[in-house]
Amino acid sequence: MAWSFDTKSVQLSLKNTNEINSKVTPIYQTTAFKFSDLDDLESFYQGGKQYLYSRVGNPNTDELGASVAHLEAAPAGIATSSGLSAILVGILAVAKTGDHVLATTDIYGGTYQLLANELAEFGIDVSFIDFDKADELENHIRENTKLVYSESITNPLLRVENINQLVNMARKHNLYTMVDNTFATPYLCQPYSDGVNLVVHSATKYLAGHSDVTAGILVGDEELIERAKMKVVNMGTNLSPFDAWLAVRGMKTLSVRMERQNKNAQILADTLSKHQAVSKVYYPKHASPKGNGAIVSIDLTNNCNIKGFFQALDWVKIVPTLAGVETSVSYPLATSHRALPKQIQEELQITEGLVRISVGLEDVSDIIEAFESAIEASILKQ
Ligand SMILES: *Cc1c(COP(=O)(O)O)cnc(C)c1O
């Protein structure tokens, strides 16, 4: 065909990808999908063709949603632009103006902001209750309560939620349940199997696992996920195909990463709990038969200079996030829990000495050495 240069430069991609038997799913980095004629286009609306426009659906984001649903033993899943947008569309799938949500106090700081500040503007009222006092929870249920929201392992003090108790209470009162399973991952627990209606993930953390993707996932039954999907489509909180592809790639090693990172975390927690300059170690005891997660929080005594501790960390990166393959630390008081009212910070024991460690894949003796020497260097000389 005698195309002009300008036409040729636009029409470069002439390969039929169906004939290339790529071993892994290719990246469908496309905004839209083409149709051969109007009947072909109509077939999308009749349910024959799967894809139209990437905000509405894309093979890579679908693969990610379906893969996590599969790991969580749930019928359906959807990928979103971030963990927070997954939480938002999940809540909006079950609650609207005039409704009320019960949430635990010790949630991720960003989730707290979303629930406390933004949902109010949608006319959704949220009460924050200490879910550790389960018997008091029922007293806070109102006529318009729709949803109970918690995390399977909370941040940064790593309380393990009693999911069975929560589900039983919610069912008794006809409420939906939604649980953030980011810290545990489906490797450790699968809240959908325990009766939770919606399970949400910041895939930014362990699912993708390599600190190079921001993404969220929501899984549940077909009907709720379809409702959430309409929110994603209409509010534009979809994930990019490339980020979905990266997350799927990362997830293939979830089991081996979690196995090693959990093991390292257990050894680090046991070692640091014997350290005289560590007043408290937060690490779950019976989160799951496969392990207790890869986050260890420690509270340094007043004899330590917290700035000195962070300065003395050698190769361990200081980052306001967690769950990569490299060991890192964060400082909840200045980052994830900065926005909380001081009174709640105190109630949650987010103290000046609190350090959250995200344990990585390195040799555990190198990890221990890095923390022991940073603690030593931070001890104030009398
Ligand atoms: C990071 C995180 C979120 C928010 O996820 P983003 O991907 O940053 O939007 C929500 N919940 C928990 C437990 C998290 O750690």
Calculate how far, in angstroms, residue 40's C-alpha sits from the geometric centre of ligand 1: 40
Structural domain ending residue among the three candidates 221, 251, 281: 251
Calculate how far, in angstroms, residue 202's C-alpha sits from the geometric centre of ligand 1: 4
Please enumerate, as own/partner, the contacts of 331-334 that have beta carbons within 8 Å and a separation of 24 or more. 331/306, 331/355, 331/356, 332/109, 332/155, 332/156, 332/297, 332/356
196 lies in the same domain as 274: no
| pLDDT tens by residue, 108-162 | 889 999 999 999 999 999 999 988 877 788 999 999 999 999 999 998 789 999 9
| pLDDT tens by residue, 280-319 | 999 999 889 999 999 999 999 999 999 999 999 989 999 9
d(C-alpha 106, C-alpha 89), whole Å: 21
d(C-alpha 223, C-alpha 227), whole Å: 6
- Which H or E run includes 63? helix 59-71
132 lies in the same domain as 23: yes
Atom 5 of ligand 1: nearest residue by CA position: 83
Look up the pTM and report it.
Answer: 0.93
Tell me what pLDDT residue 106 has: 85
Please list the residues that pair with 358 across neighbouring strands: 295, 328
Atom 1 of ligand 1: nearest residue by CA position: 202
Strand locations in 221-306, DSSP E? 278-282, 295-300
**Is pLDDT at 2 greater than 80 in this prediction?**
no
Determine how many CB atoms are found less than 10 A away from the CB of residue 89: 27
271 lies in the same domain as 199: no
Atom 2 of ligand 1: nearest residue by CA position: 202
**83 Cβ below 6 A of ligand 1:** yes
**95 Cβ below 6 A of ligand 1:** no
Tell me the backbone φ, ψ of residue 42, rounded to 5 degrees: -60, -35
Q: Containing domain of residue 321, as a range? A: 254-378
Calculate how far, in angstroms, residue 305's C-alpha sits from the geometric centre of ligand 1: 29
- What's 87's domain CATH number? 3.40.640.10
**Index of the ligand 1 atom closest to the CA of residue 86:** 9
> In which residue are the tokens 């937060």 written?
282
Average pLDDT (227-235) is 98
* ∠ Cα 256 257 261 (to 5°): 120
